[in-house]
């Protein structure tokens, strides 16, 4: 059988990007191939995000479009993976029976089995409909599936085969794996049966699969229950991976040429693994539900011989995998960021001086309603502490900080909004992600707090914060002009990608470069890259554009750290010259 072609589209955060990479590796190993065209796909998968309604709407519209595809190709399988699957449960299939497979983020190791079943189910539904169409004298009433809208009730037979396609467009193969509340069941039992760890452990690592940079998960889930956030419900309780697994994964990635690793966790700095409580199943150490942090520790209270703290983990990776020239981590939770971590970052040259620490608001009243667990003063004290330890522009190692803000949270007043502006001024983020509050069903804020800031007020405040952040970013950026920086080359710039689509000259580049193995079989032609604009990042995650020197091909530069002299800046990027 020809290999099944998969179209996989990812929405949302870095954790989803990593999940998609792991899922792709697993499916590829099982003989699936990948396509960038939905029209060519036998299997369409969306790895979804539920953090804001807007992200979900995009997926609904994709699914709407897929109805026509399924009419044309009824054997096709459509799957919804990730947070939307977990949040909506089987209601999603009821609303959109074009969906055959639902797989929550905690169940992705089961995806191959679900797909297999779904493909077979669709094939037999199809064969059944075909048989019925061919034998009209013996119509067989097709049973309605519980909860699935089977349309106007007409028999597939009555309307012939093309009509039956429409009929069973409304019939889902219904292959579902969701955690439900299992992820919050008794800690040791749930942790003992952590099959998702096998997905991370079986990660296929090959030089063809990356362009020098990789994500590595250290912590999954979240225990914070900020009142606006769906993550604790969709990704479950905070679970920490065994440090050996993490370090070994970093080593394998480094052996395949990765030089930049970003450690991932929703609250990444909560990482802690207590070896005395470790559970082993079938010879494999299992991820562990950590004891919760209860408040503002300067040093992990459980640190010691029997515990690998976040600071210990950073030091271990730095020491044991020296090929990794850049080690970074996202996203940090501001309250529990210890001095021990700051000291480790300061002492280890290959740990990036970059923090992503969302504040969410500059008003204490709003932070309290968000259940963030810190005050503005505590947040700013942390930033001061981090800068005192890590901001050393005089040795070429400034600390850059990025943040997140939610604007228009329930009850946000004009003085609250002014307080957020003041926080932005004080925090001096190199950039911040500013989101309009989006009420999410199932969260405390949705149930208990009226979404009472009118949309036009949200929009106005959002624009004011964006404009202010742009001014701040501009001054942060300008400080780099005149410096020569080490930058990690990620790919050709967007400008070049756009050109590539228009002109065929760089088509090979566009396909192999930024598209993270989306089309891994396409070889880039070696071209002289002179003048091709490359996109790179500083240690502090600031974007740098520079023109590739003559005589090189983009593939010579991508995935490498090179020196660039910065000539000019814009609020969100630097422009410079390659220094040989
Ligand atoms: N509405 C708007 N923004 C949200 N975020 C999380 N939940 C919501 C919501 N319901 C933002 C937070 C978080 C980022 C990932 O998304 O700022 O840090
Ligand atoms: Fe959501 Fe808060 Fe957890 Fe971040 S810390 S994932 S905002 S609940």
Partner residues linked to 79 by β-bridges: 45, 101
**Closest Cα to atom 9 of ligand 1:** 438
C-beta of 234 in contact with ligand 2 (< 6 A): no
CB 44 within 8 A of CB 38: yes
Tell me the pLDDT of the chain (580 aa) as tens digits: 568 999 999 999 999 999 999 999 999 999 999 999 999 999 999 999 999 999 999 999 999 999 999 888 888 999 999 999 999 888 899 999 999 999 999 999 999 999 999 988 888 888 877 777 776 544 444 333 333 333 333 333 333 345 555 665 677 878 888 877 555 544 444 445 577 888 888 898 888 888 899 999 999 999 999 999 999 999 999 999 999 999 999 999 999 999 999 999 999 999 999 988 888 888 888 898 877 666 566 778 778 878 999 999 999 999 999 999 999 999 999 987 889 999 999 999 999 999 999 999 999 999 999 999 999 999 999 999 999 999 999 898 999 999 999 999 999 999 999 999 999 999 999 999 999 999 999 999 999 999 999 999 999 999 999 999 999 999 999 999 999 999 999 999 877 766 665 544 333 333 222 333 333 333 444 456 677 899 999 999 999 999 998 888 888 899 999 999 999 999 999 999 999 8
C-beta of 224 in contact with ligand 2 (< 6 A): yes
Task: State residue 112's pLDDT score.
Answer: 94
CB 242 within 8 A of CB 288: yes
**Closest Cα to atom 4 of ligand 2:** 266
User: Any idea which residue has 């490498």 for tokens?
Assistant: 560
Top mutation candidate among 222, 225, 229 for ligand 1, by most atoms within 8 Å of CB: 229
What would the two tokens of residue 429 be? 């983020």
Q: How far apart are CA 111 and CA 27, in angstroms?
A: 9
CB 505 within 8 A of CB 553: no
Residue 454 CB burial class (10 angstroms; 0-12, 13-18, ≥19): exposed
CA dihedral 340, 344, 345, 349 (to 10 degrees): 170
CB 240 within 8 A of CB 290: yes
CB 220 within 8 A of CB 238: yes
Separation of 198 CA from ligand 2 center, angstroms? 25
User: Any idea which residue has 């993550």 for tokens?
Assistant: 231
Task: State residue 293's pLDDT score.
Answer: 66
What would the two tokens of residue 66 be? 């897929």
Separation of 379 CA from ligand 1 center, angstroms? 18
C-beta of 51 in contact with ligand 2 (< 6 A): no
**Closest Cα to atom 2 of ligand 2:** 226
C-beta of 333 in contact with ligand 2 (< 6 A): yes
Ligand nearest to the CA of 335: 2
Task: State residue 563's pLDDT score.
Answer: 96
* CB contact set of 79 (below 8 Å; sequence gap of 6+): 43, 44, 45, 46, 99, 100, 101, 102, 103, 111, 114, 115, 118
Separation of 201 CA from ligand 2 center, angstroms? 26
**Closest Cα to atom 5 of ligand 1:** 51
User: Any idea which residue has 């069973």 for tokens?
Assistant: 168
CA distances (Å), origin 20, targets 16, 24, 82, 151, 330 = 6, 6, 9, 33, 18
280-281 vs 326-330, strand pairing mode: unpaired
Ligand nearest to the CA of 445: 1
What is the number of the ligand 1 atom nearest to the C-alpha of 13?
A: 15
Start-end of H helices in 310-375: 310-320, 339-347, 364-369
**Closest Cα to atom 5 of ligand 2:** 224
* DSSP symbol at 331: -
What is the number of the ligand 1 atom nearest to the C-alpha of 51?
A: 7
**Closest Cα to atom 1 of ligand 2:** 229
What is the number of the ligand 1 atom nearest to the C-alpha of 440?
A: 10
**Closest Cα to atom 16 of ligand 1:** 51
Side-chain-side CA neighbours of residue 105 (13 Å)? 32
What would the two tokens of residue 139 be? 């119509």
What is the number of the ligand 2 atom nearest to the C-alpha of 229?
A: 1
C-beta of 458 in contact with ligand 1 (< 6 A): no
- Burial of 217-228, coded b for 16+ CB within 10 Å and e otherwise, reads bbbbbbbbebbb
* DSSP symbol at 151: T
C-beta of 229 in contact with ligand 2 (< 6 A): yes
């Amino acid at each position: 059988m020809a290999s099944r072609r998969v179209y996989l589209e990812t929405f949302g955060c870095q954790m989803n990007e990593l999940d998609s990479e792991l899922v792709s590796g697993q499916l590829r190993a099982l003989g699936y191939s990948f396509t960038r065209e939905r029209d060519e796909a036998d299997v369409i998968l969306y790895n979804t995000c539920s953090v804001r309604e807007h992200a979900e709407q995009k997926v609904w519209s994709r699914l709407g479009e897929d109805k026509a595809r399924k009419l044309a190709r009824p054997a096709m399988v459509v799957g919804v993976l990730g947070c939307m699957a977990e949040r909506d449960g089987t209601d999603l299939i009821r609303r959109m029976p074009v969906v055959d497979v639902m797989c929550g983020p905690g169940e992705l190791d089961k995806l191959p089995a679900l797909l297999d079943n779904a493909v077979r189910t669709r094939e037999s539904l199809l064969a059944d409909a075909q048989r019925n169409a061919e034998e009209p004298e013996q119509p067989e009433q097709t049973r309605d599936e519980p909860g699935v809208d089977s349309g106007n009730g007409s028999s597939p037979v009555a309307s012939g085969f093309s009509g039956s396609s429409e009929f069973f467009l409304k019939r889902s193969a219904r292959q579902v794996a969701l955690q439900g509340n299992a992820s919050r069941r008794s800690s040791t039992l749930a942790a003992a049966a952590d099959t998702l760890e096998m997905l991370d452990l079986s990660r296929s690592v090959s030089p063809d699969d990356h362009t020098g940079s990789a994500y590595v998960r250290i912590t999954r889930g979240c225990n914070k229950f900020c009142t606006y956030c769906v993550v604790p419900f969709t990704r479950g309780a905070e679970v920490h991976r065994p440090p050996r697994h993490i370090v070994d994964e970093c080593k394998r990635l480094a052996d395949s040429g990765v030089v930049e690793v970003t450690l991932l966790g929703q609250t990444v700095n909560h990482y802690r693994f207590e070896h005395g409580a470790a559970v082993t199943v079938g010879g494999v150490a299992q991820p562990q539900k950590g004891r919760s942090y209860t408040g503002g520790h300067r040093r992990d209270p459980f640190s010691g011989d029997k515990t690998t703290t976040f600071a210990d983990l950073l030091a271990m990776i730095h020491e044991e995998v020296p090929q990794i020239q850049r080690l970074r981590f996202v996203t940090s939770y501001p309250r529990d960021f210890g001095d021990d971590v700051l000291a480790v970052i300061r002492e280890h040259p290959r740990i990036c001086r970059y923090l992503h620490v969302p504040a969410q608001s500059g008003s204490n009243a709003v932070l309290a309603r968000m259940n963030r667990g810190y005050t503005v003063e505590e947040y700013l004290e942390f930033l001061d502490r981090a800068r005192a330890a890590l901001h050393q522009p005089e040795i070429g190692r400034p600390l850059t900080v990025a943040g997140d803000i939610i604007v228009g949270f329930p009850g946000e007043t004009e003085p609250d909004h002014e307080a957020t502006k003041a926080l932005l001024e004080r925090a001096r983020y190199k950039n911040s992600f500013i989101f309009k509050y989006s009420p999410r069903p199932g969260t405390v804020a949705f149930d208990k707090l009226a979404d009472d800031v009118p949309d036009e007020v949200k929009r106005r405040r959002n624009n004011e914060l964006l404009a202010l952040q742009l001014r701040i970013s501009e001054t942060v950026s300008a400080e780099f002009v005149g410096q020569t920086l080490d930058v990690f080359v990620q790919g050709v710039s967007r400008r070049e990608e756009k050109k590539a689509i228009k002109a065929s000259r760089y088509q090979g580049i566009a396909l192999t470069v930024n598209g993270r193995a989306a089309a891994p079989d396409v070889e880039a032609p070696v071209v002289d890259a002179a003048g091709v604009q490359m996109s790179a990042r500083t240690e502090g995650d600031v974007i740098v554009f520079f023109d590739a020197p003559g005589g090189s091909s983009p593939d010579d530069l991508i995935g490498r750290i090179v020196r660039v002299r910065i000539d000019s800046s814009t609020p969100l990027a630097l422009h410079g010259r390659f220094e040989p």
